[in-house]
Amino acid sequence: MADIIELVYADHDWLRRQFFRLDDAKSEEELAAIWDQLSARLDAHAEAEETVFYPALLKHGGKDDPGNPEGDPEDETEDAITDHNAIRDAVRASRRHKPGSQEWFEAVLKARTENGEHLDEEEREAMPDFIKSASLELRHQLGMQWLQFYAEHDTTRGIDNRDKDADEYIAKHS
């Protein structure tokens, strides 16, 4: 089954591993090769979540779950959009500098830090809330949409990497 939760976790794992690969790079060329792919996937991952996962969380999240009073899908979505914007900003900043330069490393470290915090929070809050409230059928449907999104975006062509207004996003998808 193509479960959206498993697919998002798999993407998170891939992102983390690529940041580790940057640590092993020995040259500017290696840094650039790894970062080109990783930075494109950071943009695509944010767009995939905003296209597939977060609209469903807003509609099916655990807002009324008495066992989880803090699990508010709107708050979780607002946090995610804000995090995605910070990651996008760092990725854009990195692209203005030569790989391996001090400025490039600072931007990449910012992206890594923002991304790590985002993944941890999402895995601790949004995803468990969604698991509790979404049927397996819905998770499968969303998983298929996730796979289709990536099939249609095997490059960054068509990926919107501009910052988004969290309030406008929530109003549009609620």
> What pLDDT shows up at residue 171?
87
Residue with tokens 């290696």: 30
- Dist. CA 8–CA 54, nearest whole Å: 12
Q: What's the structural domain count of the chain?
A: 1
Residues 6+ apart with CB under 8 A from 89: 110, 163
* pLDDT one-digit tens code per residue, 27-81: 999 999 999 999 999 999 999 999 999 999 999 886 555 555 556 899 999 999 9
Q: pLDDT of 70-124, one tens digit each?
A: 568 999 999 999 999 999 999 999 999 999 999 999 999 999 999 999 999 999 9
User: Residue 56: which domain range?
Assistant: 4-173
Rounded Cα–Cα distance for residues 78 and 168 (Å): 10
pLDDT at residue 17 greater than cutoff 90: yes
**H/E element holding 120?**
helix 102-121
Could you tell me the pTM of the whole model?
0.88
